[in-house]
C-alpha cells in the first residue's frame, strides 16, 4: 500500500479506465494507490472516470466486481466522497453507506472499504493549501481532524455540494465538471456550520490500524498468516484481532488473507507462460498446500479455474 500521491500530469487531465483486474482498478483512482482484494466474480469490469491536476483529483467510479480496499489519505490532503448507489453490505471505514451520503476524510486517514458489485461513487481529493486559499471567498473553513472520517446524511449535507458530485454520475455531465467545481464543493462542505451526522471514533481507527499492521506484517515476512503470529504483530488478543478484521473488511483474518493470496496467484497466472509455469507451482508459492481446494476457491472468486486463466494468458 502506498501513501497518497497526486499525479503531476498536465492539468487538467481526463481519463476513463475500464479495469478487469484489481491491479488496474487499484491504480485507476487518481491520487490514490490502493491495496485491493477481489472477493467475487461480479458482473463486469470496474470503471473509473477521472479529472486530475497537480494539486487535486476528482473521479467517479462504478464497482462491478466486489473488492476490499485499503489506502491512506496524505497528511496534506482532504478527501470528500459522495455515494450514488450502495448495495447491501457497502461499508467504508466501518460506516454503512447509503445513497446520497457524503464522507469527509481528514488528513492522514486510513481508508478501508467493502465495495460490493453495484456500488457507485464520486470523490474529490484536494490539497489543504488550496482549501485555505478559497476560504478567503467562502469564509472560515474547519480542517477535519487528522485520521477521522465524518459522514453527512443526504439530508444534512449542503445541497450545493451534493449537486456538484451528483453531476459527476453521468459521463456526459462529468465531462463538463471543472477542477474549480471540485475545489469549491470540498471547501463549502468544510465551511458548513451543520455538524456531521456520524463521526469516526477511536475504536474504528484502532481496528483499521490492527488490520493494516497485520497486512504489513504478512508482506514483510512473506509467509502464510497464522492467528498467533498476527496477534503478536498487532499486539492484540485473538478475539480483538477477529473483531477488527470483521469490522474493517467484513471477513475474519484467515479468509481475508486467503482471498488476498488468491488475488496474488491470479496476477501471477495472468503474467505467466503456460509452457514454463504450472498451476501447482503457483498454488504452492501462494501458500496453498491442496491444489484441488485452491482450484475450487479460485473458481468461486474469479469464475474460472486457474488452468483457464493460465491458458488464456498464454494465448
Predicted pLDDT at 150: 87
* 3-class state of residue 279 by DSSP: helix
Residues of the chain with CATH 1.10.10.60: 203-314
Residues of the chain with CATH 2.60.120.10: 13-199
| Chain position carrying cell 476528482 | 58
Candidates 2.170.150.20, 1.10.10.10, 3.40.50.920, 2.60.120.10; correct CATH number of 13-199? 2.60.120.10
Residues 64 and 47 sit within 8 Å (Cβ to Cβ) = yes
Continuous H helices in 85-201: 128-138, 159-166, 171-176, 179-191
User: Rounded to whole angstroms, how far apart are CA atoms 22 and 20?
Assistant: 7
Predicted pLDDT at 269: 93
**How far is residue 214 from each of residues 93, 206, 254, measured CA to CA in Å?**
17, 12, 11
User: Rounded to whole angstroms, how far apart are CA atoms 235 and 298?
Assistant: 32
User: Rounded to whole angstroms, how far apart are CA atoms 217 and 230?
Assistant: 8
Predicted pLDDT at 145: 81
Predicted pLDDT at 314: 66
* 3-class state of residue 252 by DSSP: coil
Query: For residue 150, how many C-alpha atoms fall within 13 Å in the half-sphere facing its CB?
Result: 21
Q: Cα-Cα-Cα-Cα dihedral of 301, 92, 81, 126, to 10°?
A: -100
Predicted pLDDT at 135: 60
Predicted pLDDT at 153: 76
Tell me if the domain spanning 203-314 has CATH number 1.10.10.60: yes
Q: Cα-Cα-Cα-Cα dihedral of 16, 19, 23, 26, to 10°?
A: 50
User: Rounded to whole angstroms, how far apart are CA atoms 290 and 230?
Assistant: 23
Q: Cα-Cα-Cα-Cα dihedral of 67, 103, 163, 34, to 10°?
A: -40
Q: Which three cell numbers stand for residue 7?
A: 499525479
Predicted pLDDT at 179: 84
pTM of the model: 0.84
Predicted pLDDT at 1: 38
**How far is residue 267 from each of residues 75, 150, 259, 311, measured CA to CA in Å?**
31, 35, 13, 13
Residues 86 and 47 sit within 8 Å (Cβ to Cβ) = no
**pLDDT lower than 70: segments of the chain:** 1-11, 134-140, 154-158, 193-205, 223-224, 313-315
User: Rounded to whole angstroms, how far apart are CA atoms 35 and 41?
Assistant: 18
User: Rounded to whole angstroms, how far apart are CA atoms 51 and 69?
Assistant: 21
Amino acid at each position: 500500500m502506498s501513501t497518497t500521491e497526486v499525479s503531476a500530469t498536465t492539468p487538467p487531465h481526463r481519463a476513463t479506465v475500464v479495469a478487469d483486474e484489481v491491479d488496474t482498478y487499484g491504480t485507476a483512482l487518481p491520487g490514490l494507490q490502493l491495496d485491493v482484494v477481489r472477493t467475487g466474480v461480479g458482473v463486469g469490469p470496474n470503471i473509473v472516470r477521472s479529472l486530475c491536476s497537480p494539486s487535486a483529483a476528482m473521479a467517479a467510479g462504478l464497482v462491478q466486481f466486489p473488492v476490499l480496499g485499503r489506502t491512506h489519505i496524505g497528511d496534506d490532503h482532504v478527501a470528500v466522497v459522495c455515494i450514488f448507489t450502495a448495495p447491501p453490505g457497502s461499508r467504508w471505514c466501518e460506516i454503512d453507506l447509503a445513497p446520497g451520503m457524503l464522507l469527509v476524510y481528514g488528513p492522514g486517514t486510513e481508508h478501508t472499504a467493502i465495495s460490493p458489485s453495484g456500488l457507485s461513487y464520486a470523490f474529490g481529493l484536494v490539497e489543504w493549501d488550496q482549501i485555505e486559499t478559497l476560504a478567503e471567498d467562502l469564509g472560515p473553513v474547519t480542517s477535519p481532524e487528522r485520521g477521522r472520517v465524518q459522514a453527512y446524511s443526504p439530508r444534512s449535507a449542503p445541497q450545493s455540494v451534493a449537486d456538484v458530485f451528483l453531476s459527476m454520475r453521468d459521463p456526459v455531465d462529468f465531462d463538463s465538471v471543472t477542477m474549480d467545481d471540485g475545489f469549491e464543493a470540498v471547501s463549502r462542505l468544510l465551511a458548513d456550520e451543520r455538524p456531521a451526522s456520524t463521526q469516526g471514533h477511536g475504536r474504528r481507527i484502532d481496528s483499521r490500524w490492527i488490520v493494516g499492521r497485520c497486512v504489513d506484517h504478512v508482506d514483510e515476512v512473506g509467509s502464510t498468516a497464522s492467528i498467533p503470529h498476527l496477534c503478536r504483530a498487532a499486539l492484540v488478543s485473538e478475539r480483538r484481532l477477529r473483531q477488527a478484521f470483521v469490522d474493517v473488511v467484513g471477513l475474519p483474518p484467515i479468509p481475508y488473507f486467503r482471498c488476498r493470496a488468491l488475488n496474488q496467484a491470479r496476477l501471477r497466472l495472468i503474467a505467466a507462460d503456460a509452457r514454463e509455469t504450472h498451476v501447482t507451482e503457483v498454488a504452492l508459492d501462494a501458500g496453498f498446500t491442496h491444489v484441488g481446494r485452491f482450484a475450487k476457491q479460485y473458481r468461486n472468486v474469479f469464475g474460472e479455474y486457474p488452468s483457464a486463466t493460465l491458458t488464456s494468458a498464454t494465448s
